[in-house]
Amino acid sequence: MPNRLLLGCFILLWSGLLLGQEPAALTVFTHTSLVDGLTAAVREDVQVWIKGAKIEAVLPANTPLPKDAREINLQGKYMLPGLIDAHVHLNNLQDAQRALLTGVTTVRSMGVPHFTDVGMRALARSGQMDLPEVLAAGYHIRPRPDEGIFLDEPGLVDLMGQNVVGEEALGRITYIMLKHKVDWLKVNATARAGLPQTDPREPYYSADELRVIVEAGAKQGVPVAAHAHGDEGGLAAVEAGVRSIEHGTYLSEATLQLMAAKGTFLVPTIAVVKDLTEAGGDYDTPVLRLRGHHMLPRVREMTTMAHRLGVKIVAATDTGYSQESLLRLPHEMEELVGVGLSPLEAIQSATTLAAELLHISNHTGRIAVGFDADILVVERNPLLNVGVLHDPLLIMNNGKIVLNRLSW
Ligand SMILES: [Zn+2]
């Protein structure tokens, strides 16, 4: 370290000690109605202290404020943890920032080209840009991978134009994902719903093939999320030991029972199926609109059954948050309430339970001391109506306010 810089650091430290101040500023939210993400009770009129990027304290209203604290009086408005969208496809930084400005402070990327999610994760961690925390998965592992992977990894060229099936080819693709340091592996266990020419009921892989991916990931502590609409492909994925099933539209009661027994999470993404049926948004073609009409009642019915059987249900949009997107996480939370979850369960599905799925519940998803200062403030009580989450008045991301509409 150059001498002058060293001296500067010393003076800064010394002046901090002299004034009895900590280097990090303290923000105190006063008169907060707190929804902590875990319990059904609202804690009325509390103070929430934020220091740096973390929640420093949750205290009674009459606690004296430190002299240098910045006070933000919430006047009884409701605070809850920043939301976790457990299934997104963010293609660029603008879209990631759009997600953040809806109150989503953490995302799990579920398939993008060129490992852009791995890069986003690094940018978010650097704190240089306002971005949600990102858990990356790289490419979808599927019979026909995105062609970008052959540009990133020309050594895979012999698989180009082939169906990537069989244990050897799947092992090679999985190795590439792990080499790029993904947090999750994403595999398509059935065909997609969002393409007119594919049939979402069609299974892609056997349980043995899927186990190759699960076991390779497990060796490095990387869990697997399996896209599955049809029951056969979904069951194979559950048997292989994936951590979450994405969509699950046609899952049978037997498969859901196995999920409940094994603790496999369900991420039903109901609202995106509704998007198929409507004009505009992420999907808008005649075939998909017709398909959406028969998928939507099925995915709702399946989620109701999953809830009854005790399957852990997590909220997600499956959107890219592009300019065209009409999907927001509260849409999915409203859908979950519609199929039988309580508003508290719907909030947990986007906070505490989502954090459990993502293995990040030690630092995010709750308003509690020591947790990330990822915070959402809304006007009314979300435990009465999760729809109020469509209108965030304040968003804090790792201790930094990225949206503040409180004064209006
Ligand atoms: Zn998806």
Q: Tell me which residues have their CB within 5 A of the ion that is ligand 1.
A: 110, 318
DSSP three-state, residue 164: coil
CA of 257 to the centre of ligand 1 (A): 24
Rounded CA-CA distance 259/337 in Å is 21
Phi, psi of 133, deg, nearest 5: -60, 135
Rg (CA), the chain: 22
CA of 89 to the centre of ligand 1 (A): 7
Q: Please tell me the CATH code under which domain 23-80+369-404 is placed.
A: 2.30.40.10
CA of 280 to the centre of ligand 1 (A): 18
CA of 6 to the centre of ligand 1 (A): 49
DSSP-assigned letter for residue 386:
G
Rounded CA-CA distance 128/56 in Å is 23
pLDDT at 37: 87
CA of 403 to the centre of ligand 1 (A): 27
Q: Which residues contact 218 (CB under 8 A, 6 or more apart)?
A: 241
Rounded CA-CA distance 82/100 in Å is 9
pLDDT at 25: 85
Using alpha carbons, select from 70, 72, 74, 64 the residue that is nearest to residue 35.
74
Name the CATH superfamily housing domain 83-327.
Metal-dependent hydrolases (3.20.20.140)
CA of 316 to the centre of ligand 1 (A): 9
pLDDT at 24: 52
Using alpha carbons, select from 32, 28, 41, 35 the residue that is nearest to residue 76.
32
CA of 330 to the centre of ligand 1 (A): 17
How far is C-alpha 213 from the chain's CA centre?
22
Edge-first strand listing for the sheet containing 224-228:
140-141, 185-188, 224-228, 244-247, 265-267
With beta carbons less than 8 A apart as the criterion, state whether 69 and 28 touch. yes
Q: What is the mean pLDDT of the chain?
A: 94
CA of 51 to the centre of ligand 1 (A): 36
Rounded CA-CA distance 103/88 in Å is 14
CA of 186 to the centre of ligand 1 (A): 9
Q: Where are the domains of the chain?
A: 23-80+369-404, 83-327
Kindly give the parts of the chain with pLDDT less than 70.
1-24
CA of 379 to the centre of ligand 1 (A): 31
pLDDT at 133: 98
CA of 185 to the centre of ligand 1 (A): 13
